[in-house]
Amino acid sequence: MSKPKRIGIFSGSFDPVHKGHIAFALSAIEQAKLDAVYFAPETKPRRKPNVSHISHRVSMLDLATRSQPRLHVLDLTARFFTPKSTISKLQQKFPGTELVLLMGSDMVEHLHTWNHVDYMLRHVELAIGVRSNSDEEVVTNLLTVLPVQPLATTIIHSELSGASSSTIRSALRAGDSSPAVTASVQNYAKKNWLYHDVTNL
């Protein structure tokens, strides 16, 4: 009997998606032994009220993942990720697979505040990207206080872990380029006047 496929789900705002996101997803495929990673942009991410329209963020994700056959974009048709309803939808979409949620170490400190996080942790593994070796101990400590332990946890180390969408937005707003974002995404953002300061025109 063949082993079930392992599918990674990477939700977030991706405003814009950058090389750090891509490097993390590819590292997770290798280190957590995933068959594929699906980027799942949230329409209305929590704590981020002024994101670009979802259609722009999906288009930039399509451009950034085009050359990577194991990276895909997934439309969850939901405003944001919710542990119970989203996990149920993922199980329906990927029946018989092992689900692994990708997240940055900064998200782990908020996990205990999520509604139905115990339900989620009983059904998924976690792949957590850390920004430095010192973060790994912090992440481990945060996991111990969760109401339920995840099925498994893999700490992911990847290149470009310091890349930041906010820094990229600031650079593009100032008319500068950013080495942390692909040329295709940068050109798309400029063409569609994303992140521009129109008050100075």
Q: What is 6-161's CATH number?
A: 3.40.50.620
Residue 1's pLDDT is what? 66
Measured CA distances, 156 to 18, 19, 33, 126, 140 (Å)? 17, 15, 11, 10, 13
- Written as tens digits, the pLDDT of the chain (201 aa) is 678 999 999 999 999 999 999 999 999 999 999 999 999 999 988 778 889 999 999 999 999 999 999 999 998 877 778 889 999 999 999 999 999 999 999 889 889 888 899 999 999 999 999 876 668 888 999 999 899 999 999 999 988 767 899 999 999 998 899 999 999 999 999 999 999 865 554
- pTM above threshold 0.85: yes
Q: 154: which 2 tokens?
A: 């893999």
Residue 198's pLDDT is what? 57
Residue 80's pLDDT is what? 79
- Contact predicate 51/25, CB 8 Å: no
Residue 191's pLDDT is what? 96
Judge if the upstream peptide bond of residue 83 is cis by omega within 30 degrees of 0: no
Dist. CA 12–CA 17, nearest whole Å: 9
The secondary element (H helix, E strand) that includes residue 56 is helix 54-65
Residue 112's pLDDT is what? 87
